[in-house]
Amino acid sequence: MPGLGNSGPDHWQSYFQDSGDNFHRIEQLEWNKPICEEWIAAIDKKVLEFDLSTVVLIGHSLGCTAIAHWASKYKRQIKGALLVAPSDLEAPQYTFPAAGFSPIPLDTITFRTIMIASSDDIWVSLDRARFFAQKWGSEFINIGKAGHINVQSGYTNWNEGLEILKKIV
């Protein structure tokens, strides 16, 4: 579940998908002006293609918030989710057009989640990431100075991320 703008060919999510290990991208109608209800409906449609007990969602940035909204609305039990670099849509610097994603849900997510955050992410402070992890019931991992954990921060072939993912799968 990529974030705003989708994940390009060099992004770690594309690396995961291209690894051939049964990864499937959840496609959205609108990547640049997302509407929450459309995004979470697309998540639900995709996960229902599989045995829910085998599904692990992997969200990046706005994708993490979409997963939290999906979990709150649909209440499906899946195997788990890896939430990487959640964006704080309620922070003043977040000025992207994203409809319906705020307020960020603070309900406990009822399946296993691991959140990976960075100490110098411009889109979420470490304290806010910890706050979201605590509210959502996520295991929290701070990987240090890693920016937004994206291509611009040097995260392409992210083998460490695949290793963390194994804690869920």
Q: Give a yes or no: residue 7 inside a domain.
A: no
Q: Give a yes or no: residue 127 inside a domain.
A: yes
pLDDT at residue 56 above 80? yes
**What residues contact 116, with CB distance under 8 A and at least 6 apart?**
82, 83, 84, 85, 141, 143, 149, 161, 164
What is the pTM assigned to this prediction?
Answer: 0.95
Q: Give a yes or no: residue 1 inside a domain.
A: no
- What is the total count of domains within the chain? 1
Q: Give a yes or no: residue 39 inside a domain.
A: yes
Q: Give a yes or no: residue 158 inside a domain.
A: yes
Q: Give a yes or no: residue 52 inside a domain.
A: yes
Q: Give a yes or no: residue 46 inside a domain.
A: yes
pLDDT at 169: 79
The separation between CA 133 and the C-alpha centre of its own chain, rounded to angstroms, equals 12
pLDDT at 96: 85
pLDDT digits (tens, 9 = 90+) for 84-94: 999 998 888 88
Tokens of 105: 């849900």
The CATH number of the domain holding residue 132 is 3.40.50.1820
C-alpha closest to that of 25 among 66, 57, 65: 57
Cβ-based burial of 143 (10 A; exposed 0-12, middle 13-18, buried ≥19): middle
Q: Give a yes or no: residue 4 inside a domain.
A: no
Range of the domain at 44: 12-165
